[in-house]
Chains A and B, each alone.
Chain A
């Protein structure tokens, strides 16, 4: 039976057209992507049109498969044969085999292109192949099955064509156009391709091969199979016998059960959102922006800890876009008068349970702060928390990746600190550098699907331990490589560029160190490419406790990576946000403005010059920074670069002690005259 099905495919024209289109489209598309300096991940993600083409091909193939015997006038004769009951099954199996062959061709072709171009994605061959089979292959197969059901149910009716087009549109990434009439999460579930075809590829998150997506594809296939079996039951060429009816009914029931199981698993936390919140970063940024606009600035009462944490045992599980972990901490040097231990823990990480010395303890949350009752007079003991949640835009957790920084309270950090602030100057909240005041011993075990990296020494896969004043964990479609003595963790095809830019970062750091007259922090030997929400230079890099974080956004184009070595970027990472500073978004901006001006050969194109032009444009309504920029420019014109350097050094040294205001800058400039 399968032989005949294969003969029909082989001797038909359509399958050859499909093979030809696929075979030609892939290299042409890939050639253009290479020309546009795009990488394999972006190429695959942007090839969502192949998924849409697969859906359309599948639907039409399905109809042809179902109508083949009827169209040939052979159906009745075959239906009277004893083996006829297996014909439909053999059709589906043959269709599955055809889909497999097509996807095997696509996989081989893509892998060959990856190999020829020398891409590091070769190490992720299984993911690339899984992506092709899941996004293109399963869509093709499921739509074929769905087309079969439509063909069976509608027979020769012309309604087939509009119905097929409607179905095709409904399962495409463009179905959000129906969002006024159909709930977004339903449309999101129906969409069999990428959530957003136009979005840029996130190298850390990698290809979206999350369990919820696989569940969605399985549930969709189960629906299609249910319809196919039901259509055979309803519209069979012959009236089914009781046995056939029972078998088909059992198949329908089985598929519905599979559907019910997987549809519950198929819910991505992003399903409820549509563009522009259809990626985790935008979602978290929006949530954090809203939260810190409302709450951040009200938190003025801060206190350093009156206790120490000597040891953290963190047992972390990554599920969907959440982490779920047990944090066991050894607390010591507790001030005898304390009745409550105060910690900072990002507010979206919910405490589910707390214990002190193994006994349940009362705790209280106040935004990013966490208080747990502590027996008065007790100077040391064990505190444990069960925590679940997400860590916001600065430490995004997606379904396929997570990043939690050693400079962020994703585990309870002693003391109450301000995690982030929202200022008018920036759209994004400004996250503060929060680390332990004294190194602690960390023992971390992580259960995640992807390989995990940390700043702590690796003990085994997913297990890290060591002494540090902060722990970083990073997981995603990443690899590590030693480039020029730096151990760099990053997405494939981006590590070498980061490595060469890092050498320049060190030079800039040394240059800035002499300019500012202070010793710069040591250059970490661990470099991690991490997800970020901003393209601004103040987010190009961040200094962790033992590692340097490089913004993944800036690594997407090999030419822009070099920008991380710019003075403003290095200043921000090594000389400004490397320590806890609050309520001082303005000064880093001013410093960066001056440094950019000093460094840039095109002075008129700098932020400083732009600010000055704001006065001409807005007059009295121009911001205060514009007037300061005008004064600085005047100062530069009078004093030259040397004068500007003196100003920067003096201001920076003063800022180390307290927050500068505009009058401080003016005084410093006056003094320099």
Chain B
């Protein structure tokens, strides 16, 4: 299976190192790039999308080299940037038609057919000829993924796609991503662990420009193995503990509160070790 190989890619802006020797190997399917704000996710996505040239390192997919053949890269690439928006005075269909032309879909009939299929896939057929100025944030994001899919690219780069979406739209968007992931590489960058959990099969975590790859989500979760404790306490005790221990989440039942606590050692005799979630693995990794 062809993999996207990223080999020691670095990028600096002045003295600031945005990416430091990032090496990843990404196979088909949805690949998540998780990291806090300012970690270097968007820089990495922009490097992948050929908008920025790395200072050093290389990237390749099949026989295509990023540094040497950016035009070829763009031909196999779909990109949904973080702040995707569209001219307000054009319709969704016109937007896709324009980008289709830029992607080299010269045959008008073929282009139309592809646009119609994509609009249906992202559930925008009914709104296709409405001006995008009337679209909601979620609709615009779906239009964004449709434009990224134009030309049937082998690699799709999606930067923070669910930020600012309401839960319903977020779920709908994740579903779209899952549907289109088959047979291609999708790199999804986000700071929302839930997005990765819901869609990705493998993940990399990035912090201060340094990325670490995990073959599976469970491996990242395992980073927190032995550090997550379930502690049942009384509601009034729970309030006290919030400031004393690292509470990740809490569930309130009729007479008590279940706290998930992140700690190297058991915070109490009542606390029992539990298997960590992805978010907990990420938090532990992030705190290192």
Contacts and interface: CB of A to CB of B under 8 A. Distances in A.
B102 A78 contact: yes
B89 A11 contact: yes
B104 interface: yes
Given A81-B74, A82-B75, 18 more contacts: A1-B101, A4-B90, A7-B89, A7-B94, A68-B87, A72-B85, A73-B83, A73-B86, A74-B84, A76-B81, A76-B83, A77-B144, A80-B50, A82-B102, A82-B104, A237-B51, A239-B52, A243-B71
A198 interface: no
A238 interface: yes
B125 to A, nearest CB: 21
B88 A241 contact: no
B79 interface: yes
A352 interface: no
Nearest to A82: B74
Contact of B51 (A4, A74, A238): A238
B76 to A, nearest CB: 10
A43 B85 CA distance: 47
A237 B87 CA distance: 17
A12 B87 CA distance: 11
A83 interface: yes
B104 A77 contact: no
Contacts of B49: 76, 80
Contact of B103 (A74, A83, A241, A243): A83
Contact of A73 (B46, B84, B104, B148): B84
> Which of the four size classes fits the interface of chain A?
20 to 34
A237 B80 CA distance: 15
Interface string B96-109: 00110111100000
B21 interface: no
A606 B52 CA distance: 84
A72 B53 contact: no
Q: Secondary structure at chain A's binding surface: helix, strand, loop or mixed?
A: helix
A83 B51 CA distance: 14
19 contacts: A1-B102, A8-B87, A11-B89, A11-B90, A76-B49, A76-B79, A76-B84, A77-B84, A78-B102, A80-B49, A80-B51, A81-B102, A82-B74, A82-B75, A83-B102, A84-B74, A238-B50, A238-B52, A239-B53
Interface of B: 46, 49-53, 70-71, 74-75, 77, 79-81, 83-90, 94, 98-99, 101-104, 144, 147-148
Contacts, number: 81
B24 to A, nearest CB: 19
Contacts of B84: 73-74, 76-77
Interface string A557-589: 000000000000000000000000000000000
Given A1-B102, A80-B50, A80-B51, A74 B79 contact: no
A97 to B, nearest CB: 17
Contacts of B51: 76, 79-80, 237-239
Nearest to A1: B101
Contacts of B77: 80
B87 A74 contact: yes
B85 A73 contact: yes
A15 to B, nearest CB: 12
Q: Which of B49, B52, B74 has the most CB of A within 10 A?
A: B74
Contacts of B94: 4, 7
A248 to B, nearest CB: 15
Interface string A2-26: 0110011001100000000000000
A3 B97 CA distance: 10
Contacts of A68: 87
Interface in A51-88: 68, 72-74, 76-84, 87
Nearest to B49: A80
A589 B122 CA distance: 94
Contacts of A239: 51-53
Nearest to B147: A77
Given A80-B74, A241-B70, A8 B89 contact: yes
Contacts of A237: 51
Contact of A241 (B71, B98, B104): B71
A79 B98 CA distance: 13
A253 B174 CA distance: 49
Contacts of A76: 46, 49, 51, 79, 81, 83-84
A83 to B, nearest CB: 4
Q: Which of A79, A82, A238, A243 has the most CB of B within 10 A?
A: A82
Contacts of A81: 74, 99, 102-103
Interface string A596-614: 0000000000000000000
A440 to B, nearest CB: 72
Given A82-B74, A84-B102, A77 B53 contact: no
Given A4-B98, A7-B89, A7-B94, A80 B104 contact: no
A79 to B, nearest CB: 6
